[in-house]
Every structure is written in structure tokens, then in C-alpha cells.
Amino acid sequence: MRKRVRIILDTNVLYSGLYSSNGASFRVLQAIDKNRVKMVLSTTLLFEYEDVLKRELSILGLSDRDVDKLLDYLCLQAEHQKIHFLWRPRLPDPKDDHILELAVASQTSLIVTHNIKDFRGSELFGVRSITPKKLLEEIL
């Protein structure tokens, strides 16, 4: 049996997977649900998920309660990691530095994102950024 791949899931992939059931982002969420992929989560990333999803409730067709239940579920599924150091700024988009810090702190080598260019420089830390489609190609 193959070992589950550990990933950091960028907010844009979570949002895309909830927005449409067509596409790789939704299939990544299914892989998490089926325990084929293990998410690694920090408090900062969880709050980012909550902020983005609750801002887009009407577009996603969700309620506050739906988002709370989803986040609770992700917390149950995820491996939790505290971050004890900051290297900011390191990435082209400083808002993504906390994701790189999470990957390094948890020794997770994959960030799954639609914005690969935002994670240029993560390779210096042994972390690759890949699209949801590329992740699925690697695990299936």
C-alpha cells in the first residue's frame, strides 16, 4: 500500500474545489476525504480558509454554518503543525510566506496551489509547489 502524500493545501485550491465539482481541485478534496492525501494545517492557514470562504458564501452557495462544519471536518482530517519561526518575507507574495513556513516546519514537501509563481523560491527549502492536476497525476 502506498504511503499517503502530505500536502499543504493553498486556499485557492480549497475555494476552487468548493466552487465547482468539475476539475482537479474538487478531486483533491475527494482524495483528502478518502485518506489518499493528508493535509497539514496551521492555525494561520485555518483562519485564512475561514476568512475567504465566509467572504464568498453566496458565490459558493454555503451558509456560515456550512463553512464552520467544513472547517471542523478539515481540522479532524488534518495533521496540525505549530510554527515557531518566521522568515518573512521570502516569497514574491508576502501573504503566502505563512504557507511556506508551515511546509518547512512540518517537513511537508508539497504545496498544492493554482499560483505556482507565487511560491518561487520554495525549492530552496526542499518544497515544491504543484497544481492540483499535477498532484493527481503523481498520486493516481
Cell 502530505, residue? 6
Q: Please state the pTM of the whole predicted model.
A: 0.94
In which band, very low, low, confident or very high, does the pLDDT at 2 lie, cut at 50, 70 and 90? Answer: low
Q: What is the pLDDT of residue 86?
A: 65
Q: What is the pLDDT of residue 66?
A: 98
Give, rounded to a whole angstrom, the gap between the first and last alpha carbons of the chain: 13
Grid cell listed for 67: 463553512
Segment 108-138, tens digit of pLDDT: 999 999 999 999 988 999 999 999 999 999 9
Closest CA to 126 of 102, 108, 99, 106: 108
Q: What is the pLDDT of residue 87?
A: 64
| Residue 41 to residue 8: CA distance in whole angstroms | 7
In which band, very low, low, confident or very high, does the pLDDT at 94 lie, cut at 50, 70 and 90? Answer: confident
Domains in the chain, please, with CATH?
5-139 (3.40.50.1010)
Segment 3-60, tens digit of pLDDT: 689 999 999 999 999 999 999 999 999 999 999 999 999 999 999 999 999 999 999 9
Beta strands in 2-133 (DSSP E): 5-9, 37-41, 79-80, 110-112, 128-130
